[in-house]
Amino acid sequence: MLAPVLHVLPLTTIVRERTLPVAGKVNAHLNQRVNPTDVIAEANFAREHVLLDVARTFGVSANAADKLMKVKEGDRLTQGGLVAEMSGMLSRSIKAPRPGRVMVAGGGQVLMEVGDTRIELKAGMPGTVIQVMNERGVVIRTAGALIQGTWGNGRIDNGLMVSLIDKPDAVLDADRLDINLRGSVVLGGHVRDVETLRAAAELPVRGLIISSLLSALLQTAVQMRYPILVLDGFGAMPMNSAAYNLLTSNNKREVTVNAEHFDRYNGNRPEVIIPLPISTEPDEPNAYEAFAVGQKVRMRRSPHAGMIGALANLPSGMSLLPSGLRASAAEVKLENGTTVLVPLVNLEVVG
């Protein structure tokens, strides 16, 4: 059976696509070295539209109204700019209520996009641009450590990582977050109260990497303006040992926290990237493999959720689980030496 792979790697090649949500201008060029905060592309995005009904305002047919229009598609107008004019004894005009751009002019109506919002797309990670996608974005390649998580609040930032976790099942409380952590990416354990998230915002930190989060805090976590990356899931879960060992051994290094939402269809998922110098470029990791004895695996569900073990045996056929269900399963030797039976669909390979 095929196995999804969770990447927790000390050194690998990381290739990521960074794209604008709408068409815009790409600033970066091929082979350019970029830093996480570099704006690699930008776009103007109008959130609102204004429909000016010229025909109705002037009381004429659509065809007649079209002839009275003084604008065409693509024209940029300032507030009060002339849109249409009807001359006569008492000449009348229609003016732009807000600055904006004409999207459609015809059929007796003018549609303007207004309320421009500027979108700046940052590189989000250091690396080299290996592909430029016209008007959309770029593909960046870098080398370093890669640690994938399970949930992110949609934000991205980078900074010096400071570890506040001394054991995988540690709890991160607000009183651990002092002023010395301002501008840092904080590595913590389980977060169980809203005060901790707010204290991190008040410093502010540039990111929070945690083992688990109470689901009741999700709404607050989404509102935070700094990235929050949950490594193992919801509830009181310890940090998986693979991530714990790798992250704590990289304490005080510059890291990128890309806490983007887990999109199960395009494969984007929250991740921590720790850029590292290399002499030769390492291989890109596999996205999936076939289950095989000896693989390091992580358990996705209770009773050993988040724990890491070694795949010791793959019995053929279906196995009876403690739940009473029958499923293809594997015997997994946990790090504490015990061996447990785990359904294959509850496992992912770590690598």
Partner 1 sequence: MPSSLIQNESVLAIEVGAAVTRVVLFDVVEGQYRFVASGQAPSTAEAPFKDIGIGVREAIVNLQGVTNTKILAPDNNLVSPAQPDGSGVDAVVATISAGPSVKTVIVGLLNDVSLQSARRLAESTYSRVVESLDLTDHRKPEQQLDGIVRSRPDLVILTGGTDGGASRSILKMLEAVGLACYLMPMEKRPMVLYAGNRKLAGDVQELLGGHAGKLEISYNVRPSLETEDLGPASRELAGLVTKLRQRQIKGVDELNMWTGGNVLPTSYAQGRMIRFLSRLYESTRGLLSVNVGASATSVAAGFKGELALGTYPQFGLGESLGTLLQYTELDDIMRWMTLDISPNVVREYLFQKSLYPGAIPATKDEQAISQAVARQALYLAVQTLKKDFPGTQTELMPSLDLIIAGGGVISEGVSLGQSLLLLLDAIQPVGIMPILIDQNNLLPLLGAAAERNHYLPVQVVDSGAFIGLGTVISVNAAANYGDQVLRAKMTYADGTDVRADVKFGGLEILPLPSGQSASLSLQPLNRADAGLGAGRSGTVPVTGGALGVVIDARGRPLQLPSDPVRRRELIKKWYYTVGG
Which residues are at the interface with partner 1 (CB under 8 A)? 1-2, 4-5, 22-23, 47-51, 103-104, 111, 113, 150-151, 214-216, 218, 233-235, 262-269, 287-288, 300-303, 305, 321-327, 342-343, 345-346
Nearer to partner 1, 214 or 310 (CB): 214
Nearer to partner 1, 37 or 288 (CB): 288
Instruction: Report in angstroms how near the CB of residue 86 gets to partner 1 at its nearest.
Output: 22
Nearer to partner 1, 204 or 235 (CB): 235
Instruction: Report in angstroms how near the CB of residue 33 gets to partner 1 at its nearest.
Output: 29
**Contacts of residue 62, Cβ cutoff 8 Å, sequence gap at least 6:** 55, 107, 108, 109
Nearer to partner 1, 50 or 276 (CB): 50
Instruction: Report in angstroms how near the CB of residue 117 gets to partner 1 at its nearest.
Output: 12
In eight-state DSSP terms, residue 211 is E
Nearer to partner 1, 254 or 289 (CB): 289
Instruction: Report in angstroms how near the CB of residue 50 gets to partner 1 at its nearest.
Output: 5
Instruction: Report in angstroms how near the CB of residue 125 gets to partner 1 at its nearest.
Output: 19
Are residues 137 and 18 in contact, defined by beta-carbon separation less than 8 angstroms?
Answer: yes
Instruction: Report in angstroms how near the CB of residue 304 gets to partner 1 at its nearest.
Output: 9
In eight-state DSSP terms, residue 29 is -
Please state the separation of Cα 340 from the chain's center in Å.
34
**Contacts of residue 136, Cβ cutoff 8 Å, sequence gap at least 6:** 19, 20, 23, 24, 26, 41
264: three-class secondary structure by DSSP? coil
Nearer to partner 1, 192 or 198 (CB): 192
Separation between Cα atoms, residue 158 and residue 200, nearest integer Å: 15
* Other CB atoms within 10 Å distance of the CB of residue 155: 19
Separation between Cα atoms, residue 341 and residue 315, nearest integer Å: 10
Question: What DSSP string describes 220-267?
Answer: HHHH-SS-EEEEEEESS-PPPHHHHHHHHTTTTSEEEEEE----TTT-
